[in-house]
Amino acid sequence: MDRHAIALWFALGGAAQLGAQAPVRLSFGQAVSQAAGTAPIVAIAGLQVDAAEARVRQARGPLLPSLSLSSAWANRSFNSRSLGIELPTIPELVGPFDNFDARATATQTLFDFASIKRVHAARAQADGSGAERRVAVESAARSAAVAYLRAARAAASAAARRSDSSIAAELVRLAAAQQAAGVSAAIDLTRARTQLAVSVGLLIVAQNQNDRARLDLARALGLDPTTPIELTDTLSSGIAAADVPAERDAAIARGVATRPDLQAEVARGLAARTTGSAIAAERLPRLSLEGDVGVNGPTVPGAILTRQIAVAVSIPILDGFRREGRLAEQHAIASVSELREHDLRQEIAAEVEAALLELRSVEAQQTIAAERMRLAEDELAQARERFAAGVAGNIEVINAQASLLEARDADIDARFRAAVARVALASAVGVAQTLH
């Protein structure tokens, strides 16, 4: 085995047989589904939703009953003169004496419009967090889909380079046989060996890109980067399909209705406006009921029952104009949200339009690339026949092989771009997690 064959054996994957870890078989749909459910950004977004729901419960707290228990024992004395008491019958030093007090205190808000509005604002923020989680799901699904397609393209490129290397090795053997038979010049064998060296180098690069693409796919799925992955889908015409309307207007309408980033922006605007209403409602009176019952006395056995029931009304008048500043801040936030919402609607229309244009373009290019590859294969076959018959040198074969290499790359790139365009269209409509 010469050095070219040894390099080719390693490049074709002979050394890979030493690996013992079984690969994880993964289809395109499984990759998208797994990323949408378990990707780190999705898990983080889910925890943020839990935090938002907890804030709703916190905002509801001032409207619910509260109950507290307390107990205290004290031994004290005091100066009656410090209280302004100067009677001959009352000594200057009073005490020491014991005091025991134990009671239960309950409060219930009867009317607090500001707190009600705060609950509504917290609920709007929680809805926004839910929409943000769907944004994370869509982003994870799209990232996994593109990473899978890149891995599939890298695998197709590596397979193409293996085929090129096999053809180059066969041409070396044919050129050597032709030279031994005296029907071919020595330069034909040199050209063939040069082409084999080039093919082996390209194969090594392609396999390195293939390994890097699978590493990126593992990261997109939240897997251990060392996990070997076996792709069960290729860059076929049916990959990356999704439930997307074919008509432009229908696709735009679907995107406006389902895009989670638009829903999140709408929720943020609603939360800002509701928070502003809650701040404005702080000017209204607040009505609450308070109850207090317990025992009080110098000793525990001597304590007697005491109670208090009160209805309290508080009316805020002035707080140094802080309330007005907070209200102006929320109005500004709501205005910014309205502008972003309007811009997002236009962005959705533009993204859907661009994705449809790209899809139509790459589908036409895919047809041309497939025809180009067929012609390149015919050209290589004819050149090999002419060289084998001794009527032409192998320079024609090498040129035909180079044309086939370019045609294969163009076909792989066209199929990859078509699949990516389908992913972009699904993402523009907001249904990337349904890709299969």
The secondary structure of 86-146, three-state, reads CCCCCCCEEEEEEEEEEEEEEEEEEECHHHHHHHHHHHHHHHHHHHHHHHHHHHHHHHHHH
Report the run of H or E that residue 25 belongs to, with start and end: strand 24-26
Residue holding tokens 């030279």? 179
Amino acid 409: pLDDT: 86
Q: What is the pTM of this model?
A: 0.79
Residue 252 and residue 248: Cα distance in Å, rounded? 6
Amino acid 393: pLDDT: 65
CB 305 within 8 A of CB 295: yes
Residue 43 and residue 23: Cα distance in Å, rounded? 25
CATH superfamily of 3-10+23-63+120-273+346-434: Outer membrane efflux proteins (OEP) (1.20.1600.10)
Amino acid 15: pLDDT: 44
Amino acid 184: pLDDT: 67
Amino acid 11: pLDDT: 47
Q: Is the dihedral of CA 89, 90, 91, 96 positive or negative?
A: positive
Residue 161 and residue 409: Cα distance in Å, rounded? 10
Amino acid 256: pLDDT: 92
Amino acid 174: pLDDT: 78
Residue holding tokens 């102006």? 328
Amino acid 9: pLDDT: 45
The pLDDT profile of the chain, 436 residues, written as one tens digit per residue, is 455 544 554 444 544 443 446 788 889 989 998 888 888 889 999 999 999 999 999 999 999 999 999 999 998 888 888 878 788 778 888 888 888 999 999 999 999 999 999 999 999 999 989 999 999 999 999 999 999 999 999 999 998 888 888 888 887 887 787 777 776 677 877 877 887 888 888 889 989 999 999 999 998 888 888 888 889 988 887 888 888 887 889 999 999 999 999 999 999 999 999 999 999 998 899 999 999 999 998 888 888 999 999 999 998 888 888 889 989 999 999 999 999 999 999 999 999 999 999 888 988 888 898 888 889 888 888 887 887 776 666 777 778 878 888 888 888 899 899 999 999 999 999 998 888 8
Amino acid 61: pLDDT: 92
Q: At what angle do helices 186-220 and 395-429 cross, to 10 degrees?
A: 10
C-alpha distance from residue 273 to each of 118, 338, 364 (Å): 11, 11, 49
